[in-house]
Amino acid sequence: MKGRLISSDPYRQQFLVERAVSFSHRQRDCSELISVLPRHALQQIDGFGGSFTEGAAWYSTA
């Protein structure tokens, strides 16, 4: 599946930058993996916005 990603980076003064992306089926062995590296204070997280808001909505209705 193909799509497009629109992102902004205020530190680099880049706003509404669009690029093509392609999606594939998840691999079972790593689909639930999130790595937290304490030595890296500013890790970038992409693609979790829906996860946080949908999870909060589910929790508040449960």
Q: For residue 26, what pLDDT is reported?
A: 66
Task: Report residue 23's pLDDT band, with 50, 70 and 90 as the boundaries.
Answer: confident
pLDDT, the chain, mean: 72
Average pLDDT for 37-57: 64
Query: Rounded to two decimals, what is the model's pTM?
Result: 0.34
User: Given this model, what pLDDT does residue 10 score?
Assistant: 83
Q: What is the mean pLDDT of residues 37-55?
A: 64
Q: What is the spatial distance between Cα 57 and Cα 36, in angstroms, rounded to a whole number?
A: 24
Phi, psi (degrees; rounded to nearest 5) at 57? -65, -45
Element holding 5 (H helix, E strand): strand 2-9
